[in-house]
Amino acid sequence: MPEAVRGPDQPRKHPVVGVGISMTSYSEVAQVCARWIADRRAAAPGALRAARYICVTSVHGIVSAVLNRSLRPVFNGADIATPDGMPVVWALRSFGARQQQRVYGPDLMLALCAQAAARGHRIFLFGGREEMLSALCERLKERMPELQIVGAYSPPFRPLTPDEDARIVSRILDSGADLLFVGLSTPKQDRWMLAHRDKLPGLVMVGVGAAFDFHAGRVSQAPAWMRRAGLEWLFRLKEEPSRLWKRYLLVTPLFLPLWGLQLLGVLKYQKEPVRL
Protein backbone atom coordinates (compact mmCIF):
# COMPACT_ATOMS: atom_id res chain seq x y z
CA MET A 1 0.00 0.00 0.00
CA PRO A 2 1.46 3.45 -0.91
CA GLU A 3 2.28 5.79 1.94
CA ALA A 4 0.22 8.93 2.44
CA VAL A 5 0.96 12.23 0.74
CA ARG A 6 0.57 15.06 3.22
CA GLY A 7 -1.96 17.73 2.35
CA PRO A 8 -1.53 21.43 3.12
CA ASP A 9 -3.87 21.13 6.13
CA GLN A 10 -1.71 18.58 7.97
CA PRO A 11 1.30 19.13 10.25
CA ARG A 12 4.69 18.42 8.70
CA LYS A 13 6.36 15.11 9.46
CA HIS A 14 9.98 14.16 9.93
CA PRO A 15 11.21 10.57 9.56
CA VAL A 16 12.28 8.95 12.83
CA VAL A 17 13.87 5.58 12.03
CA GLY A 18 11.66 5.31 8.95
CA VAL A 19 8.36 6.42 10.52
CA GLY A 20 7.11 9.92 9.76
CA ILE A 21 6.35 11.70 13.04
CA SER A 22 4.31 14.90 12.97
CA MET A 23 5.92 18.03 14.36
CA THR A 24 2.81 19.27 16.09
CA SER A 25 1.10 20.17 19.37
CA TYR A 26 -2.13 19.47 21.24
CA SER A 27 -3.64 22.74 20.07
CA GLU A 28 -2.71 22.18 16.43
CA VAL A 29 -4.11 18.62 16.40
CA ALA A 30 -7.34 19.90 17.98
CA GLN A 31 -7.62 22.71 15.41
CA VAL A 32 -7.02 20.34 12.50
CA CYS A 33 -9.61 17.87 13.84
CA ALA A 34 -12.15 20.67 14.25
CA ARG A 35 -11.54 21.72 10.64
CA TRP A 36 -11.93 18.15 9.38
CA ILE A 37 -15.19 17.73 11.30
CA ALA A 38 -16.51 21.06 9.96
CA ASP A 39 -15.63 19.96 6.42
CA ARG A 40 -17.41 16.65 6.99
CA ARG A 41 -20.57 18.33 8.22
CA ALA A 42 -20.57 20.75 5.30
CA ALA A 43 -20.02 18.07 2.64
CA ALA A 44 -22.82 16.72 0.48
CA PRO A 45 -23.89 13.17 1.52
CA GLY A 46 -22.16 11.48 -1.41
CA ALA A 47 -19.05 13.65 -1.32
CA LEU A 48 -17.43 12.43 1.90
CA ARG A 49 -13.80 11.45 1.57
CA ALA A 50 -12.11 8.57 3.36
CA ALA A 51 -11.81 8.86 7.12
CA ARG A 52 -8.86 10.69 8.63
CA TYR A 53 -6.80 8.82 11.18
CA ILE A 54 -4.32 9.83 13.85
CA CYS A 55 -1.72 7.55 15.42
CA VAL A 56 -0.17 8.40 18.78
CA THR A 57 3.25 6.99 18.02
CA SER A 58 5.61 5.67 20.66
CA VAL A 59 9.03 4.03 20.54
CA HIS A 60 7.22 0.68 20.59
CA GLY A 61 5.32 1.54 17.41
CA ILE A 62 8.41 2.81 15.62
CA VAL A 63 10.57 -0.21 16.48
CA SER A 64 7.68 -2.55 15.62
CA ALA A 65 7.63 -0.92 12.16
CA VAL A 66 11.37 -1.59 11.83
CA LEU A 67 10.99 -5.25 12.78
CA ASN A 68 7.85 -5.72 10.67
CA ARG A 69 8.07 -3.72 7.46
CA SER A 70 4.36 -4.15 6.76
CA LEU A 71 3.68 -1.78 9.67
CA ARG A 72 5.59 1.17 8.26
CA PRO A 73 2.90 2.19 5.74
CA VAL A 74 0.29 1.82 8.51
CA PHE A 75 1.94 4.60 10.52
CA ASN A 76 3.12 6.58 7.52
CA GLY A 77 -0.38 6.44 6.05
CA ALA A 78 -1.73 8.32 9.07
CA ASP A 79 -2.83 11.91 8.53
CA ILE A 80 -1.08 12.76 11.80
CA ALA A 81 1.36 10.64 13.83
CA THR A 82 2.00 12.39 17.12
CA PRO A 83 5.21 11.97 19.16
CA ASP A 84 3.71 10.03 22.06
CA GLY A 85 6.89 9.17 24.01
CA MET A 86 9.70 11.38 25.28
CA PRO A 87 12.42 9.48 23.34
CA VAL A 88 10.47 10.25 20.15
CA VAL A 89 10.31 13.90 21.20
CA TRP A 90 14.07 13.95 21.87
CA ALA A 91 14.69 12.39 18.47
CA LEU A 92 12.63 15.10 16.73
CA ARG A 93 14.53 17.78 18.64
CA SER A 94 17.84 16.23 17.55
CA PHE A 95 16.66 16.47 13.93
CA GLY A 96 15.92 20.19 14.23
CA ALA A 97 12.47 20.51 15.82
CA ARG A 98 13.96 22.25 18.87
CA GLN A 99 10.67 23.23 20.52
CA GLN A 100 8.88 19.92 20.01
CA GLN A 101 6.81 18.75 22.97
CA ARG A 102 5.15 15.43 23.68
CA VAL A 103 1.64 14.86 22.33
CA TYR A 104 0.54 12.09 24.66
CA GLY A 105 -2.44 9.90 23.77
CA PRO A 106 -4.39 10.15 27.07
CA ASP A 107 -3.97 13.94 27.23
CA LEU A 108 -4.83 14.31 23.54
CA MET A 109 -8.02 12.33 24.13
CA LEU A 110 -9.07 14.67 26.94
CA ALA A 111 -8.23 17.75 24.84
CA LEU A 112 -10.33 16.47 21.93
CA CYS A 113 -13.18 15.51 24.27
CA ALA A 114 -13.15 19.00 25.81
CA GLN A 115 -13.28 20.52 22.33
CA ALA A 116 -16.07 18.09 21.37
CA ALA A 117 -18.10 19.13 24.43
CA ALA A 118 -17.65 22.81 23.58
CA ARG A 119 -18.39 22.47 19.85
CA GLY A 120 -21.03 19.74 19.88
CA HIS A 121 -18.88 17.08 18.22
CA ARG A 122 -20.27 13.57 18.73
CA ILE A 123 -17.88 10.84 19.86
CA PHE A 124 -17.85 7.04 19.68
CA LEU A 125 -15.61 4.76 21.77
CA PHE A 126 -14.25 1.52 20.27
CA GLY A 127 -12.14 -0.89 22.29
CA GLY A 128 -11.64 -2.30 25.77
CA ARG A 129 -13.85 -4.47 27.95
CA GLU A 130 -17.55 -3.69 28.44
CA GLU A 131 -17.23 -2.90 32.15
CA MET A 132 -14.28 -0.62 31.45
CA LEU A 133 -16.17 1.21 28.70
CA SER A 134 -19.09 1.81 31.07
CA ALA A 135 -16.73 3.30 33.64
CA LEU A 136 -15.00 5.38 30.96
CA CYS A 137 -18.29 6.84 29.69
CA GLU A 138 -19.37 7.66 33.23
CA ARG A 139 -16.11 9.38 34.11
CA LEU A 140 -15.96 11.38 30.88
CA LYS A 141 -19.52 12.61 31.42
CA GLU A 142 -18.67 13.58 35.00
CA ARG A 143 -15.75 15.67 33.75
CA MET A 144 -17.58 17.08 30.71
CA PRO A 145 -21.38 16.97 31.15
CA GLU A 146 -21.95 18.48 27.69
CA LEU A 147 -19.98 15.72 25.94
CA GLN A 148 -22.10 13.73 23.46
CA ILE A 149 -21.09 10.06 23.61
CA VAL A 150 -23.23 8.51 20.89
CA GLY A 151 -21.93 4.94 21.15
CA ALA A 152 -19.41 2.55 22.63
CA TYR A 153 -18.42 -0.95 21.55
CA SER A 154 -16.22 -3.58 23.15
CA PRO A 155 -14.90 -5.89 20.41
CA PRO A 156 -14.10 -9.54 21.18
CA PHE A 157 -10.48 -10.59 21.72
CA ARG A 158 -10.29 -12.17 18.28
CA PRO A 159 -10.65 -10.93 14.70
CA LEU A 160 -14.18 -9.88 13.82
CA THR A 161 -16.01 -11.93 11.24
CA PRO A 162 -17.01 -10.03 8.08
CA ASP A 163 -20.63 -9.90 9.30
CA GLU A 164 -19.59 -8.62 12.73
CA ASP A 165 -17.37 -6.02 11.14
CA ALA A 166 -20.15 -4.86 8.82
CA ARG A 167 -22.53 -4.53 11.78
CA ILE A 168 -20.16 -2.41 13.86
CA VAL A 169 -19.34 -0.21 10.85
CA SER A 170 -23.09 0.37 10.33
CA ARG A 171 -23.52 1.08 14.04
CA ILE A 172 -20.76 3.69 14.01
CA LEU A 173 -22.10 5.36 10.87
CA ASP A 174 -25.71 5.32 12.12
CA SER A 175 -24.65 6.92 15.41
CA GLY A 176 -23.75 10.16 13.64
CA ALA A 177 -20.33 10.20 15.30
CA ASP A 178 -17.81 12.81 14.20
CA LEU A 179 -14.88 11.51 16.22
CA LEU A 180 -14.01 7.86 16.83
CA PHE A 181 -11.57 6.98 19.62
CA VAL A 182 -9.93 3.57 19.14
CA GLY A 183 -8.37 1.93 22.18
CA LEU A 184 -6.92 -1.41 21.04
CA SER A 185 -3.19 -0.86 21.75
CA THR A 186 -0.43 -0.46 19.17
CA PRO A 187 -0.18 -1.71 16.44
CA LYS A 188 -3.61 -3.38 16.46
CA GLN A 189 -5.49 -0.08 16.66
CA ASP A 190 -3.40 1.45 13.88
CA ARG A 191 -4.00 -1.48 11.53
CA TRP A 192 -7.73 -1.28 12.33
CA MET A 193 -7.93 2.41 11.49
CA LEU A 194 -6.15 1.99 8.17
CA ALA A 195 -8.37 -0.99 7.27
CA HIS A 196 -11.52 1.04 8.05
CA ARG A 197 -10.52 4.33 6.48
CA ASP A 198 -12.69 3.77 3.41
CA LYS A 199 -15.52 2.11 5.37
CA LEU A 200 -16.06 5.13 7.64
CA PRO A 201 -16.00 8.11 5.26
CA GLY A 202 -15.74 11.53 6.86
CA LEU A 203 -14.94 10.36 10.38
CA VAL A 204 -11.89 11.39 12.36
CA MET A 205 -10.33 8.33 14.04
CA VAL A 206 -7.80 8.64 16.85
CA GLY A 207 -5.91 5.62 18.22
CA VAL A 208 -5.31 6.43 21.88
CA GLY A 209 -3.84 3.20 23.24
CA ALA A 210 -4.02 2.88 27.02
CA ALA A 211 -6.04 6.10 27.43
CA PHE A 212 -9.28 4.13 27.90
CA ASP A 213 -7.78 2.20 30.83
CA PHE A 214 -6.27 5.31 32.39
CA HIS A 215 -9.39 7.48 32.16
CA ALA A 216 -11.66 4.64 33.31
CA GLY A 217 -9.50 4.26 36.42
CA ARG A 218 -8.53 0.67 35.64
CA VAL A 219 -4.79 1.33 35.28
CA SER A 220 -2.71 3.95 37.12
CA GLN A 221 -0.74 6.54 35.17
CA ALA A 222 2.90 7.24 35.87
CA PRO A 223 3.59 10.40 37.88
CA ALA A 224 4.09 13.50 35.77
CA TRP A 225 7.80 13.70 36.62
CA MET A 226 8.36 10.17 35.32
CA ARG A 227 6.52 10.98 32.10
CA ARG A 228 8.63 14.11 31.60
CA ALA A 229 11.85 12.19 32.27
CA GLY A 230 11.05 9.42 29.80
CA LEU A 231 10.63 6.87 32.60
CA GLU A 232 6.96 6.05 32.06
CA TRP A 233 7.99 2.66 30.68
CA LEU A 234 9.49 1.71 34.06
CA PHE A 235 6.28 2.57 35.90
CA ARG A 236 4.12 0.67 33.43
CA LEU A 237 6.44 -2.33 33.53
CA LYS A 238 6.05 -2.41 37.32
CA GLU A 239 2.26 -2.17 37.01
CA GLU A 240 1.79 -4.79 34.25
CA PRO A 241 4.97 -6.92 34.07
CA SER A 242 3.44 -10.03 32.51
CA ARG A 243 1.91 -8.06 29.63
CA LEU A 244 4.62 -5.51 28.97
CA TRP A 245 7.99 -7.14 29.72
CA LYS A 246 8.69 -8.15 26.14
CA ARG A 247 7.82 -4.68 24.86
CA TYR A 248 10.06 -2.80 27.27
CA LEU A 249 12.94 -5.24 27.67
CA LEU A 250 13.26 -6.73 24.16
CA VAL A 251 11.68 -4.35 21.63
CA THR A 252 12.01 -0.70 22.68
CA PRO A 253 15.75 -0.83 23.60
CA LEU A 254 16.49 -1.18 19.86
CA PHE A 255 15.37 2.42 19.34
CA LEU A 256 18.48 4.09 20.79
CA PRO A 257 21.08 2.58 18.40
CA LEU A 258 18.75 3.07 15.40
CA TRP A 259 18.20 6.72 16.31
CA GLY A 260 21.95 7.15 16.72
CA LEU A 261 22.66 5.65 13.30
CA GLN A 262 20.13 8.00 11.70
CA LEU A 263 21.58 11.00 13.53
CA LEU A 264 25.05 10.06 12.27
CA GLY A 265 23.75 9.73 8.70
CA VAL A 266 24.37 6.01 8.46
CA LEU A 267 20.64 5.37 8.11
CA LYS A 268 18.89 7.73 5.70
CA TYR A 269 15.15 8.16 5.20
CA GLN A 270 13.24 10.17 2.65
CA LYS A 271 11.01 12.96 3.90
CA GLU A 272 7.32 12.71 3.07
CA PRO A 273 5.97 14.18 -0.18
CA VAL A 274 3.54 17.08 0.07
CA ARG A 275 0.38 17.55 -1.99
CA LEU A 276 0.21 21.23 -2.99
Buried b (16+ CB within 10 A) or exposed e, 194-229: bebbebbbbbbbbbbbbbbbbbbeeeebbeeebbee
- Give 66-78 pLDDT, tens digit per residue: 999 999 999 999 9
Residue 123, domain member (yes or no): yes
CATH number for the domain harbouring residue 36:
3.40.50.2300
Percent of the chain with pLDDT strictly greater than 90: 76
Check pLDDT > 80 for residue 245: yes
pLDDT in the model for residue 221: 87
| Residue 41 belongs to domain spanning | 13-212+255-263
Residue 159, domain member (yes or no): yes
**C-alpha of 264 from chain center:** 29
pLDDT in the model for residue 219: 86
Residue 273, domain member (yes or no): no
pLDDT in the model for residue 7: 61
Check pLDDT > 60 for residue 180: yes
Residue 107, domain member (yes or no): yes
Average pLDDT over all residues of the chain: 92
Q: What is the pTM of this model?
A: 0.92
Residue 245, domain member (yes or no): no
Confidence grade of residue 8 (pLDDT, cut at 50, 70, 90): low
Q: How many domains are there within the chain? A: 1
Residue 227, domain member (yes or no): no
Residue 247, domain member (yes or no): no
Check pLDDT > 50 for residue 2: no
Residue 26, domain member (yes or no): yes
- Give 83-120 pLDDT, tens digit per residue: 999 999 999 999 999 999 999 999 999 999 999 999 99
